[in-house]
């Protein structure tokens, strides 16, 4: 990424990249921050590549707060300074996906969710 930025005349304000609970990309985010670029999660629900809405760790954390696995998956990213763009064609899910800002995950919650990290893209059409 830094090689790419070195060739840019204008530093991007936002970089939308694959990012979800299975591939959080902390190092990339840190590199972006040094350039003043906001990281934004592309496909925060993994485009159906994982059964994220039935993920037991997300469900268990959500139960503590009366939240769904989807909401916890989003809050995990938002709380770490990552913008998210979840897509839904259902109004009630759009409302659900917006209703995350009344929860603050604890360090213990974050550590539990971090167990889902694979360090690998689910899509395979690029690598860092």
Ligand X SMILES: NC(=O)c1ccc[n+]([C@@H]2O[C@H](COP(=O)([O-])OP(=O)(O)OC[C@H]3O[C@@H](n4cnc5c(N)ncnc54)[C@H](OP(=O)(O)O)[C@@H]3O)[C@@H](O)[C@H]2O)c1
State the residues that interact with ligand X by CB under 6 A: 16, 42-47, 53, 70, 85-90, 93, 96-97
111 vs 120 by CB, closer to ligand X: 120
98 vs 107 by CB, closer to ligand X: 98
| Residue among 66, 19, 76 at smallest CA distance from 43 | 19
In angstroms, give the least distance from the CB of 77 to ligand X.
11
In angstroms, give the least distance from the CB of 124 to ligand X.
16
In angstroms, give the least distance from the CB of 70 to ligand X.
4
Give strand pairing partners of 16: 40
């Amino acid at each position: 990424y830094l090689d790419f930025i070195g060739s840019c005349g204008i530093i991007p304000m936002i970089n939308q990249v694959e990012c979800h609970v299975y591939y959080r990309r902390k190092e990339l985010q840190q590199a972006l921050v040094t350039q003043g670029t906001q990281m934004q999660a592309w496909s925060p629900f993994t485009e159906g590549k994982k059964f994220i809405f039935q993920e037991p760790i997300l469900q268990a954390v959500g139960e503590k707060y009366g939240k769904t696995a989807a909401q916890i998956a989003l809050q995990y990213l938002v709380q770490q300074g990552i913008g998210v763009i979840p897509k839904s064609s259902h109004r009630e899910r759009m409302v659900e996906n917006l209703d995350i800002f009344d929860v603050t995950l604890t360090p213990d919650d974050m550590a539990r969710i971090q167990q889902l990290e694979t360090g690998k893209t689910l899509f395979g059409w690029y690598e860092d």
